[in-house]
Amino acid sequence: MDDKIPQAAPRPSATFDEYTNSEIRRAASTGIYDIRGSGAKRKLPHFDDLLFLGASISRYPLEGYRERCGTEVTLGDRFAKKPLELKIPITIAGMSFGSLSGQAKEALGRGANLAGTSTTTGDGGMTPEERGHSKLLVYQYLPSRYGMNPDDLRKADAIEVVVGQGAKPGGGGMLLGQKINDRVAAMRSLPKGIDQRSACRHPDWTGPDDLEIKILELREITNWEKPIFVKIGGSRPYYDTALAVKSGADVIVLDGMQGGTAATQNVFIEHVGQPTLACIRPAVKALQELDMHRKVQIIVSGGIRNGADVAKAMALGADAVSIGSAALIAMGDNDPFYEEEYRKLGTTAGSYDAWHLGKDPAGITTQDPELASRLDPEKAGRRLANYLKVMTLEAQTIARACGKNHVHNLEPEDLVALTVESAAMAQVPLAGTSWVPGQGY
């Protein structure tokens, strides 16, 4: 027997963990807060914490590939003369030309076209290439109004008034000087190479009463043809949804904190807003109380990754979902194929989020012509379309197993939760019990 005194193993602090300490050292060294792209990376209650029950003796399922399970969705038929008709309930979220290369925007349009869905502009305006390659294009109306003009407004298939986004509810945009080439600068009416900070509030309206008048103006300018979406970040979904409906929105876009951004402060992304899972039921409740559920459609975004997520969002009351980060991954973002180059940038495939610096090896979040040329818009569009179709098939598979002939017929009753937290947020029973936390025993 060794008579040395046993030593306890070195114990890292759970509070001051490796990442936290590295961030303290980084801040102390640079004097600048950490800016990055993407959405919340912390572990959050999410759709993975929910399970479908499937059919049983009390429910009967539909035959896979034999019995119809609809996926089409109409967006914006409350007031608009020309609502959007989508084949699938998955749309492409707003991402700007500027944050993304022209090739990447083209690929998003191509992929959306093949799958029968819409894509969305971003902060910076509409490019002719994007309009040309997108059969259904939603035009974002943002606080900065960069590139905003009535001709493009009339060319759009829908208008999305952006009040907030999940990664930074209450925050504006940021496009650092490295990505501001001549074209991006001209579209935004600003000098080349400067940091472009987008305002967090709209310049000419504040509050729901003003928003109602703003929506009236947009409808008047576009002959009441275009559906008007209102996009909100996941902070107070019950009230924001009710106020957007009151203001005259045709469609609500609800973005939880896992939703990505081109660039903002890490502290903002990780500490402001609510998880997507926590946002859906309060928003749907607001619609139901106003007798507007399925009349004003709700699109949920923020961490949608597969058909199960789509089906779960639908079951909780969404009419459609929207993807951003997942679409970029489908096109090649963070692909291990570029691992060597990611390592040179001090990161690794799967963790790369310095989208604001414009050095994306995959050629997506960049304005560098050499990097951007790496992305073939046709191939990337095809990959995106494949991915959208797989997600749709997955959602249909689940819906049929639950006996639904349309994905919209999925309902909370089809779900149980694996954790107390997710049960409380989704307002469905904890698995194996009839207990819905927050609703008594």
Partner 1 sequence: MNSLDFSTLGLRAINQKLQSLDPGTNEREWTITNPMGQHAIACGLTAPISVTVDGHAGFYCAGMNQNAEVTINGHAGVGVAENMMSGIVRIKGNASQAAGATAHGGLLIIEGDASSRCGISMKGIDIVVGGSVGHMSGFMAQLGHMVICGDAGEALGDSIYEAKLFVAGSVESLGADCIEKEMTAEHEKTLADLLEKAQINKDAKLFRRYGSARTLYNFDIDQADAY
Contacts of partner 1 in 153-172 (CB under 8 A):
153
**CB-based contact 107:363 (threshold 8 Å):** no
Shortest Å distance, C-beta 213 to partner 1: 5
List Cα–Cα distances, 249 to 23, 80, 211, 232, 295, in angstroms: 41, 10, 9, 12, 11
Q: Which residue type, as a one-letter code, is found at position 230?
A: V
List Cα–Cα distances, 63 to 56, 246, 274, 299, 415, in angstroms: 14, 41, 37, 28, 20
Report if residue 145 touches partner 1, rule: CB under 8 A: yes
Distance CA 78, CA 424 (A): 31
Q: Which residue type, as a one-letter code, is found at position 158?
A: A
Q: Candidates 53, 114, 176, 420: give the one binding partner 1 (CB under 8 A).
A: 176
Residue 317 backbone dihedrals phi, psi, to 5 degrees: 120, 0
Shortest Å distance, C-beta 186 to partner 1: 11
- Give the 3-state secondary structure of 113-124: HHHCCCEECECC
Contact letters for partner 1, residues 223-262 (x by CB under 8 A): xx--------------------------------------
Shortest Å distance, C-beta 223 to partner 1: 7
Distance CA 234, CA 365 (A): 24
The two beta strands, 158-162 and 228-233, are parallel
Report if residue 32 touches partner 1, rule: CB under 8 A: yes
Report if residue 213 touches partner 1, rule: CB under 8 A: yes
Q: Which is nearer to partner 1, 153 or 431 (CB)?
A: 153
**CB-based contact 120:94 (threshold 8 Å):** yes
The two beta strands, 264-265 and 228-233, are unpaired
- Coil/strand/helix, residue 263: coil
Report if residue 189 touches partner 1, rule: CB under 8 A: yes
Q: Which is nearer to partner 1, 250 or 255 (CB)?
A: 250
Shortest Å distance, C-beta 151 to partner 1: 8
List Cα–Cα distances, 87 to 70, 112, 188, in angstroms: 9, 10, 34
Q: Which is nearer to partner 1, 16 or 33 (CB)?
A: 33
Report if residue 185 touches partner 1, rule: CB under 8 A: no
Q: Helix, strand, coil: what percent of the chain each, to 5?
A: 40, 15, 50
Q: Which is nearer to partner 1, 53 or 153 (CB)?
A: 153
Q: Candidates 6, 10, 31, 128: give the one binding partner 1 (CB under 8 A).
A: 31
**CB-based contact 64:397 (threshold 8 Å):** yes
Report if residue 110 touches partner 1, rule: CB under 8 A: no
Shortest Å distance, C-beta 177 to partner 1: 5
Reading the block at residue 128, the tokens are: 């002719």
Q: Candidates 51, 53, 148, 357: give the one binding partner 1 (CB under 8 A).
A: 148
Q: Is the dihedral of CA 108, 354, 13, 268 positive or negative?
A: negative
Report if residue 199 touches partner 1, rule: CB under 8 A: yes
Q: Candidates 53, 55, 114, 190: give the one binding partner 1 (CB under 8 A).
A: 190
Report if residue 293 touches partner 1, rule: CB under 8 A: no
Q: Which is nearer to partner 1, 205 or 338 (CB)?
A: 205
Report if residue 207 touches partner 1, rule: CB under 8 A: no
User: How many binding residues for partner 1 (CB under 8 A)?
Assistant: 33
Q: For 38, left (φ over 0), alpha (ψ -120 to 50), or beta?
A: left
Shortest Å distance, C-beta 28 to partner 1: 12
Distance CA 384, CA 95 (A): 15
Q: Candidates 222, 241, 265, 427: give the one binding partner 1 (CB under 8 A).
A: 222
Shortest Å distance, C-beta 221 to partner 1: 3
Shortest Å distance, C-beta 150 to partner 1: 4
Residue numbers at the binding site for partner 1 (CB under 8 A): 30-32, 144-145, 148-150, 153, 176-177, 188-191, 193-195, 197, 199, 203-205, 210, 213-214, 216-217, 220-224
